[in-house]
Amino acid sequence: MNQYDSERMAEALAAQGYALTADAAEADLVILNTCHIREKAAEKVYSELGRVRLNKERRRREGRDTLIAVAGCVAQAEGAEIMARAPAVDIVVGPQSYHRLAALVAKASTTGKGQVATEFPAEDKFAHLPARPQRKGQVSAFVTVQEGCDKFCTFCVVPYTRGAEFSRDAAEIVGEVERLAARGAREITLLGQNVNAYHGGGPDGRPWTLARLLRRLAQIPSIDRLRYTTSHPLDMDDELIALFGDEPKLMPYLHLPFQAGSDRILKAMNRKHSIADYEKVIAKVRAARPDIALSTDIIVGFPGETDRDFEATMALAARANFAQAFTFKYSARPGTPAAGLERQVPEQVKRERLYAVQSLIDEQRRAFDRATVGQCLDVLLEGSGRKPGQLYGRSPYLQAVHVEGPEGLIGRIAAVDILASSPNSLTGVIKSGFEWHEPVQAAV
Ligand code: 5AD
Ligand code: SF4
């Protein structure tokens, strides 16, 4: 989501004459788009700010000004305190105020005074951001459709930093996807902290579900692939699950966090679902789409987690058999209910549990990758690989795939015979004699 937000911020500043630079050291304006989800991510901001400040000082000695902005959830959570700790910062802007960024930049540069925007404005920022420009862009693009969260898991800062759940209007999303399609996008990933709780207003005046929105987006001819992330198990309704079987453009990949494998810990996390609920959902998803690649998020070392609780997490991961997963040590976040709980788990125990669960997931991921060797997969070619003459793309299961081929094929979907799997990617050859899936230009 931060990647998407960064793109929108850059586009919003284009009207003021700003353009992206490949050389951060020479930037007139540096924006750090930050994450507050775990302590490590939040602390990185200050070490990075140290580097940016030195650069600002060097440029000042050379007679040039540099504006420094901190955006994202650290900005939201810490507000003006950031300027107290890092006085070189000129602008602090929370995720709900990006449509005001251009004005904040103008004000900071004319007045020389620090600007802070961290309130949750009543207006919809998406309606106030400039429409996405018609320049040639990526093959695979993100579109935020939903933001914020009302679930209040006890470990999580999202409900406080991103605010209450909000869904964009369906027509606005369709327009954005059509514009992305017109500039070359073939794959769209719909984003939201709780994307499957999407309930944006439809053109018919009634709220649309995520399934309804996906079906509408699938009608755009040159969009060939749809994905969405991140989902909550409780909001995985039957209509959405059935789509995995019914809609060929919906890719066979689902990221569905379960966080912890014991009902006791899930309750303390306020996840509002049980282990049985989770397993029921994934069984239904697999019935709809047997080859689905499942992914998840797992937290180890939540306060009060015993060895037995952790074994239950390992057992659930073993049963579910993931194609990949993101695993985290619990990180106490200021202002969240779990941060104040007794029985915090010692760092050493967290480290050992993380290592154990990562080893299991790694094995599962490799087994999933090995099982695709020998298959012919559709690969969306997204760009050049590291080696000359090599292209890089993604399989339907989101695996990275390397093939030999000319750059002219970027943006096409090729049938690829998968020859081998290495720890982080697959290699294959483009099937000989295969006909390209020609992109169809959308009428917009
Ligand atoms: N500590 C560790 N991991 C966390 N996550 C969210 N909050 C915390 C925290 N306090 C993880 C969850 C979530 C993912 C985006 O980050 O697994 O799904
Ligand atoms: Fe955070 Fe996700 Fe829980 Fe919402 S559902 S509070 S975003 S972990």
Binned at pLDDT 50, 70 and 90, residue 441 comes out as very low
The 3-class SS string of 37-97 reads: CCHHHHHHHHHHHHHHHHHHHHHHHCCCCCEEEEEEHHHHHHCCHHHHHCCCCCEEECHHH
In this model, does residue 439 exceed pLDDT 60? no
Which of 153, 157, 229 has most ligand 2 atoms within 8 Å of its beta carbon, as the pocket-test mutant?
A: 153
Residues with CB under 6 A from ligand 2: 149, 151-153, 156, 158-159, 193-194, 232
Higher pLDDT, 386 or 270: 270
- How remote is the CA of residue 299 from the centroid of ligand 1, in Å? 7
Across 235-240, average pLDDT: 97
Which of 43, 149, 152, 155 has most ligand 1 atoms within 8 Å of its beta carbon, as the pocket-test mutant?
A: 155
pLDDT of residue 138: 86
pLDDT of residue 135: 64
Calpha distance 68→91 (Å, rounded):
6
Sorted by sequence, the CB contacts under 8 Å of residue 158 that are 6+ apart come out as 37, 73, 148, 149, 193
Going by CA atoms, what residue is nearest to atom 3 of ligand 2? 153
User: Identity (one letter) of the amino acid at 190?
Assistant: L
pLDDT of residue 415: 95
Calpha distance 124→129 (Å, rounded):
9
Angle made by CA atoms 97, 76, 19, in degrees to the nearest 5: 50
Backbone angles phi, psi at 401, to 5 degrees: -130, 135
pLDDT of residue 299: 98
- CA nearest 13: which of 104, 75, 110? 104
pLDDT of residue 443: 42
Binned at pLDDT 50, 70 and 90, residue 334 comes out as very high
Roughly how many angstroms between the first and final C-alpha of the chain, as a whole number? 26
Binned at pLDDT 50, 70 and 90, residue 440 comes out as very low
Which pTM value belongs to this model? 0.93
Residue 216: C-alpha distances to residues 183, 210, 247 (Å): 19, 10, 11
pLDDT in tens, 133-156: 766 668 999 999 999 999 999 999
Place of tokens 């650290």: 74
Q: Spell 247-273 as b/e; 16+ CB within 10 A means b.
A: eebbbbbbbbbbbbbbbebbebbebeb
Please tell me the least confidently modeled range out of 84-88, 93-97, 323-327, 438-442: 438-442
Q: Which atom of ligand 1 is nearest to the CA of 332?
A: 10
Across 53-78, average pLDDT: 95
Calpha distance 436→97 (Å, rounded):
43
Alpha-carbon dihedral sign for residues 23, 81, 302, 346: positive
Across 279-284, average pLDDT: 98
pLDDT of residue 436: 53
Please tell me the least confidently modeled range out of 15-19, 73-77, 367-371: 15-19
Across 363-391, average pLDDT: 95
Residue 276: C-alpha distances to residues 10, 194, 254, 282 (Å): 44, 21, 18, 10
pLDDT in tens, 75-132: 999 999 999 999 999 999 999 999 899 999 999 999 999 999 998 876 678 888 887 7
The 3-class SS string of 259-290 reads: ECCCHHHHHHCCCCCCHHHHHHHHHHHHHHCC
pLDDT of residue 190: 98
- CA nearest 43: which of 1, 72, 69, 74? 74
pLDDT of residue 341: 93
Where would I find the beta strands (DSSP E) of 348-412? 376-384, 390-394, 400-404
- How remote is the CA of residue 135 from the centroid of ligand 1, in Å? 35
Across 413-423, average pLDDT: 95
Across 281-294, average pLDDT: 98
pLDDT in tens, 394-404: 999 999 999 99
pLDDT in tens, 245-258: 999 999 999 999 99
Calpha distance 34→48 (Å, rounded):
11
CA atoms within 13 A on the CB side of 102: 17
pLDDT of residue 130: 80
Please tell me the least confidently modeled range out of 7-11, 119-123, 160-164, 311-315: 119-123
Check: CB of residue 138 under 8 Å from CB of residue 223: no
- How remote is the CA of residue 366 from the centroid of ligand 2, in Å? 28
Across 60-64, average pLDDT: 95
- How remote is the CA of residue 307 from the centroid of ligand 1, in Å? 20
Please tell me the least confidently modeled range out of 28-32, 80-84, 385-389, 427-431: 385-389
pLDDT of residue 134: 61
Q: Is the bond preceding residue 161 a cis peptide, omega within 30 degrees?
A: no
Check: CB of residue 257 under 8 Å from CB of residue 296: yes
